[in-house]
Amino acid sequence: MTEKAELYFEDGTVVLCTRLTAAYFGVTAATLSNWTRSGCPQLRRGYYDLKAVLDWRARREERPEMPSNPEQMSAGELRLHYDAQLKQAQFEARQFQNRLAAGEYLPRVQVVRDLSRFLMVLKTAVTGLGRELGLLVSPYVDSSTARKLSHTIDERIREGLEQIAVGGIAREELDTDGG
């Protein structure tokens, strides 16, 4: 097989070897190789169609940012895209670890313990409220109205505590689900 010249014409196009193509664009052969991996057209190993490379460079300059759709990315752009996503995830994980170490987050065990203690105090405080209010209003209303008031308040408090215990599901939702 005969060796091709560094510069020749083929089917009306100017074909340059790697060295001349890199020199034409003012880059190194390694940069030209990176371009090829990023989608730069190569006529064959070691040779480039000058017009095709110029067109490719013009398209890249028209679209300086990478496309957002991975299906429209070249292999090099895909690698950059997923590397960027990996770096972002690693950054967020480090930020979380730093916040955790700085005490910005409470341990789950502590939160559950403190909330349980608070809810027990709340339950103790409100469960006798209906009876207490019934006794307070009994001198001003008849005894059956005072008992109704006491019963209604106790029922509302019990429903509220049940709702908290069930995770915030409203009484109506429990009734419609057959609960």
Q: What is the mean pLDDT of residues 50-68?
A: 78
Closest CA to 52 of 43, 44, 63: 43
Q: Please say if the pLDDT value at position 18 is more than 90.
A: yes
Confidence (pLDDT) at 170: 47
Indicate the residue type of 31.
T
Average pLDDT value over all residues in the chain: 82
How sure is the predictor about 7, in pLDDT bands with cuts at 50, 70 and 90? confident
φ/ψ of residue 48, rounded to 5: -130, 140
168 contacts 162 by C-beta, under 8 angstroms? no
Confidence (pLDDT) at 3: 57
Q: Please say if the pLDDT value at position 138 is more than 90.
A: no
Q: Checking phi first, is residue 12 left (phi over 0); if not, alpha (psi -120 to 50) or beta?
A: left
Q: Label residue 3 exposed, middle or buried (CB < 10 Å: 0-12, 13-18, 19+).
A: exposed
Contacts of 34 (CB under 8 A, 6+ apart): 76
Q: What is the mean pLDDT of residues 91-116?
A: 86
Positions of E strands within the chain:
7-10, 13-17, 47-49
Q: Measured in Å, how far apart are the chain's first and last C-alpha atoms?
A: 85
Q: Checking phi first, is residue 39 left (phi over 0); if not, alpha (psi -120 to 50) or beta?
A: left
φ/ψ of residue 153, rounded to 5: -65, -45
Is the model more confident about 77 or about 106? 106
Is the model more confident about 142 or about 72? 142
Q: Please say if the pLDDT value at position 160 is more than 80.
A: yes
DSSP 162: H
Q: Please say if the pLDDT value at position 28 is more than 50.
A: yes
